[in-house]
Amino acid sequence: MSKASLPIKTAIIGFGQSGELSHAYGILANPEFEIVATCDLSQTRREYASQMLGCPSYCDHHELLKSRDDIELAAIVTRSDTHCEVACALLAAGINVLITKPWALDQAEAAQLIRAKEKSGKQIFPWIPMYWSPEYNEIKRLIEQDSIGRIFTIRRYIAQFSKRSDWQTELKYGGGYLNNWGAHIVQPLLGLANSLVQRLSGHLQQVINGGDGDDNFLAVMEFENGIRGIAEYAQAIEGLPSFLVQGTHGTIVSDGEKITLLQKDPASPDVGKRSELPIVGKRFGDEAHIYRDVAKTLRDAAPFPASVEDAYYGTVVLDAIRESQVKSAFVSNLLPLAPSL
């Protein structure tokens, strides 16, 4: 039997809420996969995972590697500060890895992951679910169709108003909302602008949570193609549109449920055209679709929509946002591409 016809034997490393609701869901939705193991530090979660999935559950990836040699793919859904260490160990053991957000805490970890990938000859799948978002992809299509002329401003905004007290509030664990939400807010803005950042200004706050991690952030980016990008996570009960794209012949506005396309020639007295497009599907991307594309890459060598180069540049930008906050100054000369290692 050819490898292409065999199921992709998969382990989920970290079986908390995200491991269960996002990753187990996405994997089980695709018959190309078979979940053969899970890992979690919590005995309660291990017992639950074994009961739910009918497979062994191990304490951590060390125990997994001692016990199994048949894993082809591992989804790493552990605490953020452990992603790099766990991924490098699995890559060295000959296992492809999918790494949840943030795939790396900084450029040093990102470079280490790329070295481990190249040495192993295996794949890294960065978790950038917005690249599968129907909201993002419809806006991207409208921009590429030149529906509102030359783009000069793109704003990406998410508001929530809730307090948390878990490890996501602690910087020593890789917490902070810039790390947690960067893939949902900053990364899609980079994709829509389709240009390198010339310089940026970053602003981080800690306003309602405990710990020492940011829970409010704002970044203003100037792209080489002349677009200005604004990325913001706000602690607010009500907020702004989730996307606002301004062009020389119109505006695109999204509230997360529908996209409104407003088209007008500013030199004409005529009333402009207004169209509404519903957002159909999971707003932040359907995990089942993501894992479908993972299978296509592993079995058919199809390009994965979220590349390591995309993820690396996203890390470069997040680092620059933090650097700008520390220096209270614009940051420029951002590295354009993943290093050749």
3-state secondary structure at position 76: strand
- Rounded to whole angstroms, the Cα distance separating 255 from 125 reads 29
> Does CATH place domain 134-281+315-332 in 3.40.50.880?
no
Position 339 scores a pLDDT of: 57
Q: Higher model confidence: residue 338 or residue 227?
A: 227
Dmax (CA) of the chain: 73
> Any residues with CB less than 8 A from the CB of 287 and at least 6 apart, and which?
22, 23, 25, 26, 29, 129
Task: Decide if 151 contacts 126 (C-beta within 8 A).
Answer: no
Instruction: Please say if the pLDDT value at position 207 is more than 80.
Output: yes
Instruction: Please say if the pLDDT value at position 341 is more than 50.
Output: no
- Domain 3-127 fold is Rossmann fold (3.40.50)
What digits encode the pLDDT tens for the residues 81-132? Answer: 999 999 999 999 999 999 999 999 999 999 999 999 999 999 999 999 999 9
**DSSP annotation string for 245-280:** EEETTEEEEE-SSEEEEEE--TT--S--EEEEEE--
Of the pLDDT bands very low, low, confident and very high (cuts 50, 70, 90), residue 269 is confident
Q: Which amino acid is at 293?
A: D
Task: Specify which residues 259 forms β-bridges with.
Answer: 254, 277
Instruction: Please say if the pLDDT value at position 174 is more than 50.
Output: yes
What digits encode the pLDDT tens for the residues 50-89? Answer: 999 999 999 999 999 999 999 999 999 999 999 999 999 9
Per domain, the residue ranges of the chain are: 3-127, 134-281+315-332
Domains 3-127 and 134-281+315-332 fall in the same CATH topology: no
CA atoms within 13 A on the CB side of 302: 13
